[in-house]
Amino acid sequence: MKRKKSFYKRKWFWVVLGIVAILCLMIAYHTSWKSLPEGISYEGDTHEMENIEFFRDLTYENEAGEVEHDLQIFEEMYQTIAEADDFIVADMFLFNGYHSGKHDFPPISSDLVDAILERKEEVPDLKVVFITDQINTIYGSYQSETIKRLEDGGVDVVLTNLNELRDSNPLYSSVWRTFFSWMGTGEGGWISNPLSKEAPDVTLRSYMKLLNIKANHRKLLVTENSAIVSTANPHDASGFHENVAFKMEGPIIKDILEAEEAVVNYSGGAADFPDYENRTWEEQKGSLETRFVTEGKIYKAVLDELSQAGEGDDVWLGMYYLADKKVMSALDDAATRGAAVHIIMDPNKTAFGHEKTGIPNLPVAAELQRLGNENISLRWYDVHMEQYHTKMLYIDKSEEDVIVAGSANYTRRNLANLNLEADVVIKGTGEEEVFTEVNDYFHRIWNNEKGQYTAAYEEYQDNLTFIRYATYYLQKWTWFTTY
């Protein structure tokens, strides 16, 4: 009787080992070794400004117990578009009108298209470049109605090339890149659309690409007159979300255009991008200092500002997703140095009309509570069908206040050069209007002034089960997350 071969002498062993080696190389390259596309992880110059406008969307219960929607952001965007004479450049993540039909959402996506096409008809030479994410077609499964309307109206639409970005879901993405990416995505799907049951079905190959969980997550609008950096998507089902936006003028427009042109160039878009190199914007003189930051430069800015917070400072954080360990440690350290840290988070109940498990914010809130730092206070935004979609850090200091706000959640995916993100950093004295308005915003929702905005930590924390907590840690260890 022949002796059994040692397993390492069997062919299947070497085949399996070879596949594992290939996947490990894929993971290493696409998460660490791979260079970012040129112009990504951008930090602009610091500019003086006289004034920066603050806008916010709020959904809340008024004193009569009725739900109110106080919406400002897209009305300002429509007005900004109506005043453009030379160019419009927009970069928007979610851009579609699909929803469940259960609520009467504002038609943001179609209204935005209407505003752009109306202005282009009024100014035929107006250059318009609209950059968006492939999720709006579920990676090529079908043609987007909103995108088609723009293209038919003479707008250059650029779908961001996500393959060139680093992988945030490496265990899955390594398999997808090795065995399935070459198959494309195709049309004529049969799987229910994850955005909405009312949206067209998607192909299996498109769904497989979706599971890489990669995105151009930016939300901004630029014309020759001004720039708006926002947390809001032109997505009907997101129409009642809580969001914030900041409108600026001057040379920062050039910085934003430079960062946006980089996305167009690496995505292979054939857009007629406006010539900003040979254009100058008048320098402003004022006590506000502002700079535009993207991707990993947002991370650096947040950690730098938190590292300087201490005794006598008030730190306010309004955040949809909070899960980054370095940021959580920086918040704890600031509180230990004597800063009063106030955190308002979304309870992560819903997304795209689907019920969520409260991950990551429920377990993260529990972790922050277990730190036992008496200078850290937590509240939940008391959501209805919407999300507290704000992503804003505000530090109120005696000599200089700071705001960092924009598209970036405080998670690895949003801060570690994986997603495309766009924020603005604003510094100045607390007497400036933009800081008094942001200060009033946080105090209003924290203290439930003339309405019901936020709820105590205990209101939602009972929903944190052992299974949810274990799932959160498993996702963290494997990086297999949707946040």
9 pLDDT above the threshold of 70 = no
Do residues 213 and 169 make contact, with C-beta atoms less than 8 angstroms apart?
A: yes
1 pLDDT above the threshold of 60 = no
Instruction: Tell me the per-residue pLDDT of 366-375, one tens digit each, with 9 for 90 and over.
Output: 999 998 999 9
Do residues 128 and 116 make contact, with C-beta atoms less than 8 angstroms apart?
A: yes
Q: What is the pTM of this model?
A: 0.94
Residues in the chain: 483
Residue 6's pLDDT band, with cuts at 50, 70 and 90, is low
The angle, 0 to 180 degrees and rounded to 10, between the axes of the packed helices 170-179 and 11-28 is 110
Do residues 442 and 403 make contact, with C-beta atoms less than 8 angstroms apart?
A: no
Q: What is the structure's pLDDT at 273? A: 96
* Nearest to 386, CA basis, from 238, 197, 196: 238
* 8 against 25, higher pLDDT: 25
Q: What is the structure's pLDDT at 415? A: 97
Give the whole-number percent of the chain exceeding pLDDT 70.
97
d(CA 31, CA 169): 9
CA distances, 308 to each of 286, 293, 334, 388, 398 (Å): 23, 19, 8, 27, 12
Q: What is the structure's pLDDT at 391? A: 98
Instruction: Tell me the per-residue pLDDT of 360-396, one tens digit each, with 9 for 90 and over.
Output: 999 999 999 998 999 999 999 999 889 999 999 999 9
Instruction: Tell me the per-residue pLDDT of 73-123, one tens digit each, with 9 for 90 and over.
Output: 999 999 999 999 999 999 999 999 887 667 789 999 999 999 999 999 999
19 pLDDT above the threshold of 50 = yes
Select the CATH number that applies to the domain covering 72-239+250-266 from these four: 3.50.50.60, 3.40.5.10, 3.30.870.10, 3.40.190.170.
3.30.870.10
Q: What is the structure's pLDDT at 196? A: 83
Q: What is the structure's pLDDT at 350? A: 75
Residue-by-residue DSSP string for 338-370: T-EEEEEE----EETTEE---TTHHHHHHHHHH
Helix (H) or strand (E) holding 145: helix 145-152
Say which residue the tokens 């109605």 belong to.
145
Architecture of domain 288-478: 2-Layer Sandwich (3.30)
Q: What is the structure's pLDDT at 354? A: 64
Which pair of structure tokens corresponds to residue 125?
């030479």
Ranking 201-215, 275-289, 396-410, 458-472 by mean pLDDT, the lowest is: 458-472
Q: What is the structure's pLDDT at 7? A: 60
CA distances, 36 to each of 25, 40, 84, 315, 373 (Å): 17, 6, 32, 32, 38
2 pLDDT above the threshold of 50 = no
Mean pLDDT of the chain: 93
Instruction: Tell me the per-residue pLDDT of 130-159, one tens digit each, with 9 for 90 and over.
Output: 999 999 999 989 999 999 999 999 999 999
Instruction: Tell me the per-residue pLDDT of 415-427, one tens digit each, with 9 for 90 and over.
Output: 999 999 999 999 9
d(CA 237, CA 386): 9
d(CA 164, CA 357): 31
Q: What is the structure's pLDDT at 353? A: 59
Half-sphere exposure (Cβ direction) of 360: Cα atoms closer than 13 Å: 26
Instruction: Tell me the per-residue pLDDT of 52-62, one tens digit each, with 9 for 90 and over.
Output: 999 999 999 99
Do residues 213 and 481 make contact, with C-beta atoms less than 8 angstroms apart?
A: yes
Section 434-458 average pLDDT: 97
Query: H-type helices in 195-251, by residue range?
Result: 204-210
Section 255-268 average pLDDT: 97
Q: Give domain limits for the chain.
A: 72-239+250-266, 288-478
Instruction: Tell me the per-residue pLDDT of 207-260, one tens digit each, with 9 for 90 and over.
Output: 999 999 999 999 999 999 999 999 999 999 999 999 999 999 999 999 999 999
* Nearest to 236, CA basis, from 113, 120, 355, 128: 113
Q: What is the structure's pLDDT at 464? A: 74
Which residue type occupies 35?
S
* 173 against 482, higher pLDDT: 173
Which pair of structure tokens corresponds to residue 433?
């209007």
Q: What is the structure's pLDDT at 171? A: 93
Give Cβ neighbours of residue 374 (< 8 Å, ≥ 6 apart): none
d(CA 120, CA 313): 47
Q: What is the structure's pLDDT at 365? A: 93
Q: What is the structure's pLDDT at 15? A: 84
What residues form DSSP beta bridges with 423?
A: 293, 406
Residue 352's pLDDT band, with cuts at 50, 70 and 90, is low
Do residues 432 and 421 make contact, with C-beta atoms less than 8 angstroms apart?
A: no
Q: What is the structure's pLDDT at 13? A: 77
Neighbouring C-beta atoms of residue 11, cutoff 10 Å: 8
Which pair of structure tokens corresponds to residue 216?
């151009």
Say which residue the tokens 């004034």 belong to.
51
Do residues 412 and 360 make contact, with C-beta atoms less than 8 angstroms apart?
A: no
d(CA 315, CA 306): 8
Going through 288-355 in order, the beta strands assigned E by DSSP cover 288-294, 314-319, 340-345, 350-351, 354-355
